[in-house]
Amino acid sequence: MLILLPPSEGKTAPPSGAPVDLDALSHPGLADHRRRVGDALAKVSGQRNAMDVLGVGASLTAEVERNRTVWDNASAPAGQVYTGVLYDAAGMAEWDAATLDKAAASVRIVSALWGAVSPADRIPAYRLSMGTTLGRLGGLATYWKKHLPAELDGLADGGLVIDCRSASYVAAYKPADAAWVSVSVQRELDGRRAVVSHMAKHTRGLLAAHLVRDDARPGSAQDLADAAAGMIGDALVDVALTPKTKGPDEVTLVIAG
């Protein structure tokens, strides 16, 4: 089983700690590629047009400024640095060492800067999205698409890939030889179901925590649906499986309205 998560836009900068050690991160074969992206990010973040290139507003000036010293900034486990809705729902910042060990083997956060990291990997806070184009590196989804398969296909090792990412991060890596299932979320109200956005992140976070803590090892989309059904009555009201002839099968988590 391999769970793929998106990073969060919201990040908490570690107050102290050593800078990131690229060779100590999961997938050290990506170290040179991470260095290239980080160097380009630091350079762009010091330019006059930095906000436009990074696609952010004036309220994030301090975060863009922090990019300039990304190699010197303090680092902490990624599960603590990423603090968006999905990560808060998973309670990832509070995972103990045993849970982080499980996650190190089965969870990867696909990142515009790091390519892919585990929740236990120590990283600094940064501001960069996968939809960004960074100078000569070009679009980051295209850049990482060239480098991630060699790392993540091996980690998946033919097992089930559970995809909780948004479209821009899916573009950076699609499993080649593994069973692949995407996770969607719908809300049920008065007998009708509709897609949700904010609560989708929350519910995917709950699912990730559920699978890791229970040491689940679903081998198929049906196995995942069965595992997720254990959340019915608590976080969910139903789980539905939709097989697809092209692309990943889809497991839909249904929450109450």
pLDDT per residue over 33-42, tens digit each?
999 999 999 9
Residue 257 pLDDT > 90:
no
From 246, 174, 255, 153, select the one nearest 207 (Cα to Cα).
255
Q: Cβ-count burial of 48 within 10 angstroms (0-12 exposed, 13-18 middle, 19+ buried)?
A: exposed
Q: For position 139, what pLDDT does the model report?
A: 98
**CA gap 62, 50 in Å, rounded:** 12
Mean of the pLDDT values across residues 174-188? 94
User: pLDDT tens, 182-232?
Assistant: 999 999 998 899 998 879 999 999 999 999 999 999 999 999 999 999 999
Q: Provide the whole-model pTM.
A: 0.96
Neighbours of 135 (CB within 10 A): 11
- Hey, what are 93's tokens? 């910042």
Q: For position 178, what pLDDT does the model report?
A: 85
Mean of the pLDDT values across residues 59-63? 95
For the chain, the structural domain boundaries read: 2-256
Residue 120 pLDDT > 90:
yes
Q: List 3's β-bridge partners, or say none.
A: 107, 162
* C-alpha 111, offset from chain centre: 7
What is the maximum alpha-carbon separation in the chain? 53
Mean of the pLDDT values across residues 71-79? 98
Residue 89 pLDDT > 90:
yes
Q: Which helix (H) or strand (E) holds 117?
A: strand 115-117
